[in-house]
Chain A
Amino acid sequence: MTDESDRPAVDPLAAGARAILPLALGIVPFALVYGVTVTQSSIPDLVGGSASVIVLAGAAQLALIDLLDQGAPWTVAVATALVINARFVLYSAALAPAFSAFPPAPRYMLSHLITDQAAVTALLHYETEHDPTRRMRYYLGAGGLLGATWVLGTVAGIVFGARIPDAWDLGFAIPLMFLALLVPTLRDRPAGVTALVAAITVVLARAAPFNLAIIVGALTGVLAGMAVRR
């Protein structure tokens, strides 16, 4: 047992980057696939590549590029991307208590780095880390590495292309990443009920348009978890 001042000076920036490294590696194939999708579409490479910086959300970007390429109205394409990203509102709520202790400039800049991977990695870490400055650097390390990997990976996919054999079945890596993050969050009964109800709701609501099932499932799960917590 050591007190605060004796703690080894591990830079939280490096700790955040190290914690997210496996997930950053995990998104590389997905980033390459996005880049290749852009080159094979009618969307100019510069537009598709810039989307990685401007939108910074894989599933939404793929849907956006796909719909625009098919000639869908821009309203439909943008609305679909935003519904897919509606879950970020929930991460925004969960991160708000930590982010509210940051000065405004980093608070609003780090908000752009909210992704599934970075938000959950930080939320798990924040259970034991309460110092605002260290929390801020941790988020920069985790969110920054994931975001930079996404941008560079998609650019690499555009510039060099990629031939990823179908036999590798790398599509599994995406749900696998979410599963790896999910399990550590199942720390008590309300969390377990939340996850179970969310998953069942997604399956039941699978016919809902615009990928609405995910946000509906997540909200229903939170309500169920609240109900058993009381």
Chain B
Amino acid sequence: MSLWFAVVLAGIGTYLLRVSLIAVIHRFQVSARVEDAMRLIAPAVLAALVANGLLLSAGGLRPLDTWHAAAVVAAAIAWWTRSVGWTLAGGMAALWLFQLVA
């Protein structure tokens, strides 16, 4: 029973986080400055997630390995193609290639 309670509570809380500023901001006119800040949100959150995934491991620094080499290849593919599909395919292919070599 308390398991259901925890899942439902986490769901309600997560929904409130998702809807928070959507519910608030539509009542106000947003200033140009705030709009500038909003355009930085995607690079900020994604860079934080990338750093967490690639540079950290179990609360410590992740030692350099094939992940980092493959990430460099993937970043180059993303830069030139701007295609999520090619980046994912190329990144995984590079990872498996580096594993064979390493």
Contacts and interface: CB of A to CB of B under 8 A. Distances in A.
A222 B19 contact: no
Chain A at the B interface: SS class: helix
Given A176-B74, A183-B79, A221 B48 contact: yes
B63 to A, nearest CB: 14
Contacts of B70: 172, 176
A202 B56 CA distance: 9
Main secondary structure of the interface of B (DSSP, over half): helix
A172 B67 contact: yes
Interface string B78-102: 1100101101110110011001000
A100 B26 CA distance: 5
Given A180-B74, A203-B61, A229 B92 contact: no
Given A55-B10, A88-B17, A182 B50 contact: yes
Nearest to A65: B7
B91 A195 contact: no
A151 interface: no
Interface residues of A, number: 93
Interface string A193-230: 01110111111001100010111011101100110010
A199 B26 contact: no
A167 B99 CA distance: 9
Contacts of A25: 88
B92 A173 contact: yes
A8 interface: no
B64 interface: no
8 contacts: A26-B88, A47-B7, A74-B6, A77-B6, A77-B10, A86-B17, A87-B49, A206-B61
